[in-house]
Structure 1
């Protein structure tokens, strides 16, 4: 398998596991705590945060572990990745998330695909998706451009886990997972009528996040150089 095919395959499988994680933990939470929505959300968020940390660790050395078209677009716009990769990553991510939702449904004995009836389209939800996606982009690329990319798996997992609660939309922040979640009429699902609005808000959030990254980290290594400039020179203390 070529290096390019390996990267695209990693994005597909990683996206599949992400969707299986989000949808599967949502189904499990719904079954374990049928009368407590708050507890369902906590279970879904905790499983997603921990699982996302592990999935990123697995695939980051291969493809960068995007699993998200917005992240791939910003990565290319910042000059970190070729647009050829993005053109292949995005379909792989979408197909992976749809496949992951199907796998999650089957693991819990549900029909392979069931179109969600959960309506989520409100103005506060759309604002929440802009905020959630912009924050995700800022977390990822602030670390990458300041030489702290090794912290991204933990930081992304922590941010997404927190965003389940501080955003009214429960932080989809990903067009591919939004499409995938249409195919499961369960706790984590989203109605097809709401998906286009969510995706538009996520793209707007990605653009905002890109602008913030360029503002605070105008060049790769910016944060590293700034820290080095402020650090005391050990040689200055020598006689």
Structure 2
């Protein structure tokens, strides 16, 4: 039922953003003045939280939690006759973005943070290239696993990738327009100023296009393999 799937996407994306923002606030309070330790705490919580959420909601909606993943699923599905329909894609994206905003607001309430938009500017060519790389790798990883019959590995693999990308990309790997939209509403360690979001989303869409292209080249058809 579509209602159940949309609820799963709303809750999953919301809880993901709550994990990212909440652990960012906790890290900022527990380790003031030590940005490296804050990032370690934030990334560790995100790795674990994301893996759990994929396991929890994957059987219901596929656990996309990310508009670019849903977009890639729709685009790749057009070739194979599977994936999301156009209407389902729009509904997924709306649910994900609403969940992202709700998750940030929930984290603010849990940690008694005043409501308001983030002031942290995240701009520059290096950061945008980091978002392209992070998003392309994420899309490639997910659909490589799906197309080779290893979808069961998505939870640990995606969690591990995002955790690593926190550190090897200059942008700390947002790689998700719904997460970027949510993090606008938290003026904390995890926040992003609204003025920085459009460029981040553009870079994420570009990264998704690169990821889809690589999937089509490396895995042109779903073909289970032995490992």
Q: TM-score, normalised by structure 1?
A: 0.91
Of the two, which has the highest radius of gyration? 1
- 1:168 alignment partner, SS class: coil
Could you tell me which of 117, 133, 136 is aligned with 2:135? Answer: 133
Q: Does 1:76 align with 2:66?
A: no
Matches within 5 A, 1:72-221: 72-79=70-77, 80-111=83-114, 113-221=115-223
Aligned residue number for residue 232 of structure 1: none
Could you tell me which runs of 5 or more consecutive residues in structure 2 were left unpaired when the two chains were aligned.
Answer: 78-82
Residues 119-150 of structure 1 show CA distances to partners (whole Å, capped at 9, x for unaligned) of: 11110000000000000001100000000000
Question: Counterparts of 1:114 and 1:31 in 2: how far apart (Å)?
Answer: 18
- 1:194 alignment partner, SS class: helix
Could you tell me which runs of 5 or more consecutive residues in structure 1 were left unpaired when the two chains were aligned.
Answer: 229-239
Aligned length: 222
Q: Give, in angstroms, the shift of residue 110 of structure 1.
A: 1.2
The alignment's C-alpha RMSD in Å is 1.0
Question: Counterparts of 2:186 and 2:84 in 1: how far apart (Å)?
Answer: 32
Q: Does 1:57 align with 2:55?
A: yes
Aligned residue number for residue 35 of structure 2: 37
Question: Counterparts of 2:3 and 2:145 in 1: how far apart (Å)?
Answer: 27
Question: Counterparts of 1:35 and 1:93 in 2: how far apart (Å)?
Answer: 33
Residues 30-50 of structure 1 show CA distances to partners (whole Å, capped at 9, x for unaligned) of: 000011000000000000000
Question: Counterparts of 2:33 and 2:205 in 1: how far apart (Å)?
Answer: 35
- 2:47 alignment partner, SS class: helix
